[in-house]
Amino acid sequence: MNPETRTHDDPCKVALRDDRNGVILQAGRYLELTKPRLSFLSVLTVLVGYFAARPAVDNWVLVSLMIGTSAAAGGAAVLNQWLERSTDTGMRRTRDRPIPAGHVPPAAALVLGLLLCTFGGVLLTFGVNPLAGFLVLLTIGLYILAYTPLKKHTHWCTEVGAISGAIPPVIGWSAAEGAIGPGGWILFGILFFWQMPHFHAIAWLYRHDYAAVRFPMLAAIDQTGFRVARHMMLYGLLLFVVSLFPAILGEAGLPYLIAALVFGGYFLWKILCFRHAADRDSAARKIFFVSIIYLPLLLGSLVFAVSIPG
């Protein structure tokens, strides 16, 4: 086509299209602040706790539980990034997040985080029950007011953060029963102990980033990796033991027991490999990938086992 005869777009249409694309892009940045994948994991573990309690399913409670948990988890993620916006600029893996990259104003992120957390807490309190609402607010409080500031002072922040990360299945259990039964505490233990090798593996891979901003994560202060390996093995062993409790207590049968032994044994093997690996970065990467496969397999096996009549 002759360039002189080419039809040009209407400038108004071009401007409208650009504005629409800009709105979509900015909405995506705000969505990114909520860390959708982590929020989705929180919802999944809440659902595991709910169905593991063998409830008479209430659709309104179930929908409120999923929406409220998703909002609260997303809001906590936003507030965490708002608090850490200065240190995020100093780490390679976080400097492109929406706030340090300058795509989202800190004040707007603060408002979004507070609104989401408030909405999630209110919905769980009145749409599910007060215990579920209290537990989600406790989770947010531990994550924002304890874990986040402690990251600047002690490597034990990982354990504190793991407490908040282990509460979601307890929220699900409380939504089903209105109380926290033994099964809820077992799920808490599984999530708590699972997080430790999972997050220590991540911290090892990004230990130089943490050292650059003076976060005293264990991986940043233990360049040999021996203490990291010891911690991962300790928590891996505790995870292995706790994962057997549903079968020991008679809540899940032989198929679950076999699954827990196989999955847990393989996870422990990968952790042990880190201790003796010449290339610990590669070994940590394998622990990370095995951990994200292990958890849904184990929890899925548990929900399936307890849902079988008899």
- Asked whether residue 23 is domain-assigned, the answer is no
Each residue's pLDDT expressed in tens, for the chain with a length of 310 residues: 455 444 456 665 555 554 566 678 888 888 889 998 888 889 999 999 999 988 788 899 999 999 999 999 999 999 999 998 888 888 887 888 889 888 889 999 999 999 999 999 999 999 999 999 999 999 999 999 999 889 888 888 889 999 999 999 999 999 999 999 899 999 999 999 999 999 999 999 988 888 888 888 888 888 888 899 999 999 999 999 999 999 998 888 899 999 999 999 999 999 999 988 889 999 999 999 999 999 999 999 999 888 776 5
Pair 249, 303 in one domain: yes
Pair 137, 213 in one domain: no
Pair 121, 205 in one domain: no
- Asked whether residue 95 is domain-assigned, the answer is yes
- Asked whether residue 22 is domain-assigned, the answer is no
- Asked whether residue 170 is domain-assigned, the answer is no
Number of domains in the chain: 2
Pair 106, 185 in one domain: no
Pair 189, 309 in one domain: yes
Q: Which of 105, 134, 153 is the last residue of a domain?
A: 153
* pLDDT of 80: 93
- Asked whether residue 77 is domain-assigned, the answer is yes
Pair 111, 221 in one domain: no
* pLDDT of 1: 47
Structural domain containing residue 230: 181-310
Pair 110, 62 in one domain: yes
* pLDDT of 26: 81
SS3 of the chain: CCHHHCCCCCHHHHHHHHHHHHHHHHHHHHHHHCCHHHHHHHHHHHHHHHHHCCCCCCHHHHHHHHHHHHHHHHHHHHHHHHHCHHHHCCCCCCCCCCCCCCCCCHHHHHHHHHHHHHHHHHHHHHHCCHHHHHHHHHHHHHHHHHHHHHCCCCCCHHHHHHHHHHCHHHHHHHHHHCCCCHHHHHHHHHHHHHHHHHHHHHHHHCHHHHHHCCCCCHHHHCCCCHHHHHHHHHHHHHHHHHHCHHHHCCCCCHHHHHHHHHHHHHHHHHHHHHHHCCCHHHHHHHHHHHHHHHHHHHHHHHHHHHHCCC
* pLDDT of 12: 57
- Asked whether residue 307 is domain-assigned, the answer is yes
CATH for 126: 1.10.357.140
Pair 138, 214 in one domain: no
Pair 71, 186 in one domain: no
- Asked whether residue 145 is domain-assigned, the answer is yes
Pair 303, 205 in one domain: yes
* pLDDT of 17: 57
- Asked whether residue 98 is domain-assigned, the answer is yes
* pLDDT of 309: 60
Pair 121, 244 in one domain: no
Pair 185, 310 in one domain: yes
